[in-house]
């Protein structure tokens, strides 16, 4: 018999809120939803079945309680046809879709792929290009290009830059940092491909106007 789920007022509010926030599951990886599942599953087991059972190995808990966990949240699992990983992914995704769990907003910098560029040549900064949000006029990224050592009489070598160095604002650096251990490499790869550049290192900036 097909199960019919009725939406409570709070369920409806969460769904509307999710839609308004433009939550798009395709922007996230399966591992993100597995993490959502794990954040809720073991605490639920402890609350439902006690602390002792809550300490059992995860594989055993999933085998014995994943269906019950899904039912408590109005989510169907399918352990008959799908493995544990697929079920954890699906349930985690549904928890996000229902608004039980709020996923980080990947659109905090909505114009990150449409930044505009201005060249600069400033004392103390060197030669390079700044990328800014065209709507807010906020600088987000600065690329300082390689330069040979310069020489001034009486001072000797006064400046040099051996790298195509990418500097990003503190808010942007903090934001991308939560997307994994290799976030700097991924950012370099994204930036170079998106803006046809050849940056080879990343630095964190302290101010918005970098």
User: What distance, in Å, lies between the first and last C-alpha atoms of the chain?
Assistant: 62
Higher per-residue confidence, 5 vs 26: 26
pLDDT tens for residues 51-87?
Answer: 999 999 999 999 999 999 999 999 988 777 788 999 9
Would you state the pLDDT for residue 6?
A: 52
Would you state the pLDDT for residue 180?
A: 62
pLDDT over 90 at 18, yes or no: no
pLDDT over 50 at 49, yes or no: yes
Would you state the pLDDT for residue 123?
A: 57
Model confidence at 39, pLDDT cuts 50, 70, 90, reads very high
The reply to whether the predicted model has a pTM over 0.75 is no
Would you state the pLDDT for residue 125?
A: 56
Using CA atoms, how far apart are residues 8 and 43, in angstroms rounded to an integer? 24
Percent of the chain predicted with pLDDT > 90 = 29
pLDDT tens for residues 133-182?
Answer: 998 888 889 888 765 555 566 655 555 555 678 888 888 887 777 666 67
pLDDT tens for residues 81-107?
Answer: 788 999 999 999 999 988 898 887 666
DSSP per residue, the chain: ----PPPPHHHHHHHHHHHHTT--GGGS-HHHHHHHHHHHHHHHHHHHH-HHHHTS-HHHHHHHHHHHHHHHTT----TTTS-HHHHHHHHHHHHHHTTSS----TTSSTTTTS-EEEEEEETTTEEEEEEE-TTT--EEEEEEPPEEEEEETTTEEEEEE-S-EEEE-HHHHHHHHTT-TTHHHHHHHHHHHHHT----EEEE-SSS--
Using CA atoms, how far apart are residues 71 and 93, in angstroms rounded to an integer? 15
pLDDT over 50 at 2, yes or no: no
Average pLDDT, the chain: 78
């Amino acid at each position: 018999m097909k199960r019919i789920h009725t939406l409570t007022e709070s369920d409806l509010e969460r769904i509307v809120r999710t839609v308004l926030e433009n939550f798009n599951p395709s922007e996230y990886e399966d591992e993100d939803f597995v993490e959502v599942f794990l954040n809720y599953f073991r605490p639920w087991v402890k609350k439902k079945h006690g602390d002792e059972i809550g300490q059992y190995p995860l594989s055993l808990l999933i085998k014995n309680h994943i269906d019950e966990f899904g039912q408590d949240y109005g989510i169907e699992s399918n352990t008959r046809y799908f493995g544990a990983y697929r079920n954890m992914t699906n349930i985690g995704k549904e928890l996000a879709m229902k608004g039980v769990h709020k996923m980080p907003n990947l659109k905090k910098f909505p114009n990150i792929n449409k930044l505009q560029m201005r060249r600069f040549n400033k004392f103390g900064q060197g030669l390079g290009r700044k990328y800014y949000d065209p709507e807010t006029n906020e600088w987000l990224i600065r690329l300082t290009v390689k330069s040979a050592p310069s020489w001034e009489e009486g001072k000797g070598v006064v400046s040099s830059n051996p790298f195509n160095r990418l500097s990003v604002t503190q808010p942007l650096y903090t934001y991308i940092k939560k997307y994994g251990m290799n976030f700097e490499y991924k950012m370099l790869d994204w930036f170079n491909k998106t803006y046809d550049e050849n940056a080879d290192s990343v630095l964190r900036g302290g101010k918005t106007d970098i």
